[in-house]
Amino acid sequence: MQASVEISMYPLGREFIPDIKEFIDNLKKNDEIIVEVNGMSTQIFGPFRTIMQLLTDEMEASFQKNGKSVFVMKVINAFLQQK
């Protein structure tokens, strides 16, 4: 099943740009998904299970390394990349 996810990260109590950039860069290392970034959020497209496992792993790593952050996501079971 294909999926599309829109995710935003809000690090709490510190400089946020380096943490967000690192999170996005880590997502982009996976060749099975497509990652697109805009000024409001990051959009991820690809296999549902791949996306969800990757997000679980990367959010946990971010929590452990950087402390408290809020992640806001929208998930749909369709491939909605605009070309």
Q: How does pLDDT run across 44-76, given as a tens digit for each residue?
A: 999 999 999 999 999 999 999 989 999 999 999
CA dihedral 68, 56, 54, 49 (to 10 degrees): -150
Every domain of the chain and the residues it spans: 2-76
Domain 2-76 class in CATH: alpha beta
Q: How does pLDDT run across 9-45, given as a tens digit for each residue?
A: 999 977 889 999 999 999 999 999 999 999 899 999 9
For the entire predicted model, the pTM comes to 0.92
